[in-house]
Amino acid sequence: MKIYIETLGCAKNAADSEMAAGILEDAGHTIVKNPTDAEGILVNTCGFINDAKKESINRIFDMTEYKNHGGLLMVSGCLSQRYGEELYKEMPEVDIFLGVNDYSKLPEIISSHIAGQRQKHFSSYEKGFLETGLRKTEVSAYSSTIKIAEGCNNVCTYCVIPSIRGSYRSKRMEDVLKEAEMLAENGCRELILIAQDVTAYGKDIYGEFRLAALLKELCRIENLRWIRLMYCYEDRITDELIQVMAEEEKICHYIDIPIQHASDKILKAMNRRSTKASIKNTISRLRNAMPDIHIRTTLITGFPGETKEDFLELAEFVEEMKFERLGVFSYSKEEGTPAAKMKGQVREDTKQKRKEALMTLQLDLSLQTNQSKIGTVLEVLVEEQEEDGSYIGRTRYDAPEIDNSVLFTAQKGCNPGDLVYVKIIDAFDYDLVGEMEETYESAK
């Protein structure tokens, strides 16, 4: 069967889709890039916050238009796992619903399907990391994620992830390394480590945090050039981890630390282990060890009980810390979470105004960061060529799709995946402009 996979949500979902594609191809199915060519469609949904839920539902309805005669419409992912029973009743157009733990059963589910008979499969999470050894990535994908764990043990009061994906399960180190070597052999130059909490890696199966040890082993893989850390919890950023990041050349001086807030009162209400003082301390340790490090964080405005004073404290903290990369979400009231029942729910317009205020503040801070790079020469990973012949790429300090880009001209042709050196000549709020130097390393 020809199957098209539509992926919504985060990088963890994208990794699930690649696993599903690998499982399906191994069973004899063909993955196609266009829904018009498909006999079956799988929509991998996101159910984290309200906006993501709406987008997923709309996309499911969009995909009903592509159902060929007798074709299958399948829905998987977090929204399906969380609201499967309700969706099954409300969406008769969908033939098969499955959760986040059922991808390995896809070939069997499809082969046993009888036209006109709908199915639903919502398994509870596995005790360990489900390792299939099957994953379909783009040919010569120069940038790839690798999921090193599933689930989460952090019971933040606003978050539904533990109830959807279960408790934390690390992937065995030998399996991570095997997958990373496969990706490197297929052309991967940038490896991005992902999990709900990357810094908790290993504790469940080895009895101790093993992220630093894993990074050392990954750095030995010859063809990898950049290794990037996403989704790190501040309280688990150890001195050992910082030392490895500082010493290993392949590890990008970039780290994603979603701190969510700076008011101790709000952090406690969120059930976060961090305090404003501990966050400051960790940022200081990172910057002392790696003066060029770029720290990405995310914040939540309008959490229940957030007063004007709490918000001003957060804004002052942002201005003081000068995060190189920052995103802001307004609080999403999610049913089934403790925060949804808390007193002091903040008006929607207030949440949005506070979000916009922080993003306006960050515009100035981001511009300052970018202007400081004018005159420097930076290593850039080429991503695409524009119609006018110029190129777009990223530095070591930028994760794909969410961070800054570098727009540059070149005297010789470049290909996606090439590593080039670019002299920065201008800067904007979220982009750099430059000219390529002569020295470069081809991905070929």
Cα torsion 360, 362, 365, 369 to 10°: value is -130
Q: What is the 3-class SS of the chain, one letter each residue?
A: CEEEEEECCCHHHHHHHHHHHHHHHHCCCEEECCHHHCCEEEEEECCCCHHHHHHHHHHHHHHHHHCCCCCEEEEEEHHHHHHHHHHHHHCCCCCEEECCCCHHHHHHHHHCCCCCCCEEECCCCCCCCCCCCCCCCCCCCCEEEEECEECCCCCCCCCCHHHHHCCCEECCHHHHHHHHHHHHHCCCCEEEEECCCHHHCCHHHHCCCCHHHHHHHHCCCCCCCEEEECCCCHHHCCHHHHHHHHHCCCEEEEEECCCECCCHHHHHHCCCCCCHHHHHHHHHHHHHHCCCCEEEEEEEECCCCCCHHHHHHHHHHHHHHCCCEEEEEECCCCCCCHHHHCCCCCCHHHHHHHHHHHHHHHHHHHHHHHHCCCCCEEEEEEEEECCCCCEEEEECCCCCCCCCEEEEECCCCCCCCCEEEEEEEEECCCEEEEEEEEEEECCC
Residue list for the binding site for [4Fe-4S] cluster: 10, 46, 78, 152, 156, 159
CA 31 – CA 36 distance, rounded (Å)? 12
How much is the CA Rg of the chain, to the nearest whole Å? Answer: 22
Residue list for the binding site: 10, 46, 78, 152, 156, 159
Q: How far is CA 144 from CA 18, 76, 95, 137, in A?
A: 11, 22, 31, 8
